[in-house]
Structure 1
Amino acid sequence: MKATLILVGTELLNGGMIDTNSIYMSEKLNSYGISIKYKIVVKDDINEIKEAIEIAKKSSDLVILSGGLGPTIDDLTKVAVANYLGKKLTIDKDDLDRLKIKLKERNIDFLEENKKEVEKVEGATFFNNEVGMAPGMYVDGIACFPGVPRELYNLFPKFLKWYSTKMKLNIDKIYIRDLLTYGIAESLLNKKLIPYFVETGIDYEFLIKDYGTIIRLQYKESNKNLVEKIIKKIYNEIGNKIFSEGNIKLEEVILNKLKERNLLFSVAESCTGGMISSKIVGVSGASEVYKEGLVTYSNSSKVERLGVKEETLKSYGAVSFETAKEMVEGLKTAVGISVTGIAGPNGGTLEKPVGLVYIGLKVNENIEVMKKIFKGSREEIREKTVLCSLFYLNKLLDKGSN
């Protein structure tokens, strides 16, 4: 079974809002074995919404619209659906009474405009919106939901359960395996792995994220053994570049290893200015192993906080192998990262260009320092430094456990 998602809202086209609803709906639909044919974004215009429905109906069993169910002048989804189907919009007294009760409970005055929220296309089924006003609606292969994410999250699971029963779906979930990689270009990934991407019916793709590249394989769960065979070949080919699977980020992988080994962790940052620490504390439970993050931006702070020698700074400079090494040595925990570099756009020289970064890593007595030259804007260089330092710390943790 195939579905097309139609995201309604001018703000989605002019940059005023970022669509996240389609990601949520796609994941839920996949769990019911329903694949996505198209995603269409349209502005708040009756004719354009109707045109999108017409396109979707030609190739999809189920058309799902998100957005445009509110009380304002630009909420036109139900009008467009009614026009497309050649049906009237009606208001059921019980639905209207429930809406009035909800508004009263929230100390909101009822206005005539609110009636729009419970308008129903003839023959439609409503789904109660427990966190908002406008119900979800299904009629003749078309489902409509509010664009507010928390309202969609309340309604969509109820609809899918109802729909699967109504359509007597023989659920064959869509099986997805995500391998998270770092340190290998997309083009090289493609070259190395394309010999294994030959099984008919499996969807293969590379997804570029801020934390690396995802290799995604997708197929029906009933045939997941075929996916597993390919995954094994991928590990044999580029296993040293894979740091995790699924939705587990690199910082989570590291913290899990530290917890397992009861190791404390800290960070000394210069050019990244706290970005590594921010990644770490973004993970729930980080406080179990994360002691502190020091932003030692000036030379004096490197000396005072980390014990970097003044003569080291004079002889080699703040951005140097020697300084990065002394910075990480100055951390009081068993595991640590230090970073010092030139993020630009100014400050570079022929000897030390913009993008030059030194990363110090420590796992117990094992200390490594690496030199990297990153390309990009100031922010991109800093972000690349964060990811690189975490990736190689993870590798060093693995090395220390062997």
Structure 2
Amino acid sequence: MKEEIRLGLGENWKQFTLLVIINAFVGGMVGLERSIFPEFAETQFGVESKTAILSFITAFGITKALANYYTGKLANQYGRKKLLLYGWLIAIPVPIILIYAPTWSWVIAANMLLGISQGLTWSSTVVMKIDLVGEKDRGLAMGLNEFAGYFAVGMMAFISGYVANRYGITPYPFYLGIGIAVTGFLLSWLWVNDTRKFVDKESQTDSSESMTNVFRETTFTHRTLSSVTQAGLVNNLNDGMIWGLLPILLASLSFNTENIGLIAAIYPTVWGIGQLFTGKMSDHFSKKGMLFWGMLFQGIAIMILPFTDDLYLLIGLSALLGLGTALVYPTFLATIAQVASPSQRAESIGTFRLWRDLGYAFGAVISGITADLFGITAAVLLIGIITIISSLIIKFRMPLNLSK
């Protein structure tokens, strides 16, 4: 008897819940580095240049971006589950390399592997959840997905900072990474089912207009998709700066590793928890409005960061930055899922995620060079200005009719 394929969150809650849990493990892998890497670079390898320290984010961003694109490109051909499993296999050696790395170049290589792994695993879980839920609950689905991933980033940033402060910068924080990668692989291998059949089901009733060139239209010419894409790039551009320079800025203010971990963790934690609400909001409220205000909140928070050394104000700014990011992150993906046809959705999301995660590399390079030449304050302010400009592009370029 042929199994009936039914779209919907309620109809597919078991697989959906499993994918949410798996994405939490994906987020945990990158959260491992979030609060400790600048100190790791300086104490273990004597790397002091801001540009050199941020080189690990550049390597991560470029490889994750390319993996995102090819995951979207190849998802229909090879299947989502296979790409998810490949991603976990690539993740397993990353913490082991970090523990035994003899030189900084080995750290860079480990982060290239981490970028490939993140692109394969995170993109696969995103596309699979959208496949399962159908049109009605896309925003909620993306909110739950991104909540799981970024809440885990925040929790792991705090835990690794705590462990490093108590037991040393290495190897103990990286032991956690080995457990995360092995568990994520086993969950994916044993219980995840591929979702291509759900795409075939949705395509039977979909009336979305197909794109003639998915990459070009998502990047440049489609006003909605290209507006979302530039905002995604800028969002991760400022995230790359926060990842690399915020711990250095806080260390210069004499905060210890535990407090740095706390402040660094608030941002992705609020970002993660907030998406439980903002994802569902994007199903009911103006996606354009949410994207504009989210990018604007981020820009304002970043502009204030260099001008205070008060712990509680820094926590508040980190929370505002997290709120702004929560408003935009699930909304990016829900917007693309609404506009792109089911057969082209994975590729359009892959193209968006290519540019979004290249933002890590752009942010690391721009902020690192600016910090080395003009100081950390100048670097943070520059990224804040770019973020506010991105919000204005959303306001004046993105149409209210998202199909354009």
Shorter-chain TM-score category?
under 0.3
Higher helix share: 2
Alignment TM-score, normalising by the size of structure 2: 0.24
- Structure ranking higher in strand proportion: 1
Structure with higher RCO (Cα < 8 A, 6+ apart):
2
